[in-house]
Amino acid sequence: IPQAPPEFKSGFIGIIGRPNVGKSTLMNQLVGQKIAITSPVAQTTRNRLQGILTTKDAQLIFVDTPGIHKPHHQLGEVLVQNAKIAIESVDVVLFVVDATTTCGAGDRYVADLLSRSSTPVILGLNKIDEQPPNFLEIDESYTSLADAQQWQTVKFSAITGAGLSELQQLLIQNLEPGPYYYPPDLVTDQPERFIMGELIREQILLLTREEIPHSVAISIDQVQETPTITRVMATIHVERDSQKGILIGKGGSMLKAIGSAAREQIQKLIAGKVYLELFVKVQPKWRQSRIRLAELGYRV
């Protein structure tokens, strides 16, 4: 890792907000590569994941987190506790909200957690590419929240990239001088294999419904590189036989659809040709097993 010049700034930015506001989409756009999967399903993001953006003046390390929502059970309490730790361990919080809807109970719950922390907060209004008819009312609801807390506000679209250079500048202004924490060309702290597994899980989220998305985990069993093609063997772990049936589909059609879409994504990731072979395995109660979770790459 090179020595940083004297004026160089760096630090950790927590991307915090309720589910589906576009946190992962934003991180991908900022680092210029798809390292976090995104989907309309809440709880798409399961792991804390870092995205690294290095410019000539600064290194911004974004910490993408699973969305925060009010806990209704014991596990939820643990997640919120983790979110609180995440808030305390970063230099700046980017609190992302969805500017297509007015500030709601979910946002106020997160805002309340943030107001009790000493970490500086920037309020980011995402999805400005869509302008709903009541946008003035929406704008007013977030302006009053930001004014009450004295938070700086910035508006952007994680999908089109509009407003992101302003966001970047504002974040850099809020950082202190510091070193390179990571080599300048690195975009994530996650190994390539983990991202491959996530890209497979993303297609399952997009192509299947209901109880399937939340009960799968992916393991990458083998990656073989040849001069012309990379062979990837992966297993989709489910909890029940019925789920295995849905994932395989009629005559294998669902698994084929998942495989070819995921293969395209993995080809983009590694910038090369990929042969992807998928297996489905029933693994009862993997979600309850911390050992199994750790084996599958989740931090437990």
The answer to whether residue 265 forms part of the interface with ligand GDP (CB under 6 A) is no
Please give the annotated binding residues for GTP, written as ranges. Answer: 17-24, 64-68, 126-129
| Contacting Mg ion within 2-61 (CB under 5 A) | 23-24, 45
Residues 6+ apart with CB under 8 A from 75: none
3-state DSSP helix/strand/coil percent for the chain, to nearest 5?
Answer: 40, 20, 40
Q: Are 186 and 206 in contact (CB under 8 A)?
A: no
- Applying CB under 6 A, does 20 fall inside the site for ligand GDP? yes
Only one of the segments 17-25, 48-56, 173-181, 207-215 lies at the binding site for ligand GDP (rule: CB under 6 A); that segment is 17-25
Token pair belonging to 73:
């059970």
166 binds ligand GDP (CB under 6 A): no
Decide if residue 174 touches ligand GDP (CB under 6 A): no
Query: Does the footprint of ligand GDP cover residue 22 (CB under 6 A)?
Result: yes
Q: Which residue is nearest to ligand GDP (CB)?
A: 22
Q: Does 44 bind K ion (CB under 5 A)?
A: yes
* Contact assessment for residue 93 and residue 113, using Cβ atoms and an 8 Å cutoff: no
**Binding map of ligand GDP across residues 40-69, x = CB under 6 A, - = no contact:** x---xx---------------------x--
Shorter beta-carbon distance to ligand GDP: residue 235 or 265 = 265
The stretch near ligand GDP (CB under 6 A) out of 20-28, 82-90, 236-244, 283-291 is: 20-28
Element of type H or E holding 280: strand 274-282
Instruction: Report the C-alpha gap between 163 and 181 in whole angstroms.
Output: 26
**Shorter beta-carbon distance to ligand GDP: residue 64 or 239:** 64
Nearer to Mg ion, 202 or 239 (CB): 202
Site string for K ion, 20-39 (x = CB under 5 A): x-------------------
How many residues form the binding site for ligand GDP (CB under 6 A)?
21
Based on the shown chain and the rule CB under 6 A, indicate whether residue 159 belongs to the binding site for ligand GDP.
yes
- Counting contacts by CB under 5 A, is residue 243 touching K ion? no
Q: What is the DSSP string of 77-96?
A: HHHHHHHHHHHHHSSEEEEE
Q: Where are the alpha helices (DSSP H) in the chain?
A: 23-31, 74-89, 105-115, 135-149, 164-173, 192-207, 211-214, 241-248, 253-270, 290-295
Side by side, which strands form the sheet with 230-238?
217-225, 230-238, 274-282
CB of 299 to ligand GDP, least distance (A): 17
10 binds K ion (CB under 5 A): no
Q: Would you say 287 and 75 are in contact if contact means Cβ atoms under 8 Å apart?
A: no
Residue 207 · residue 175 · CB < 8 Å: no
Sign of the torsion angle spanned by Cα atoms 253, 194, 70, 100: negative
Nearer of residues 109 and 180 to Mg ion, judged by Cβ = 109
Q: Tell whether residue 127 is a contact of ligand GDP (CB under 6 A).
A: yes
**Cα 12 to Cα 228: distance, rounded to the nearest angstrom:** 38
**Residues interacting with ligand GDP, by CB under 6 A?**
17, 19-25, 38-40, 44-45, 67, 126-127, 129-130, 157-159
**Residues interacting with K ion, by CB under 5 A?**
20, 44
**Residues interacting with Mg ion, by CB under 5 A?**
23-24, 45
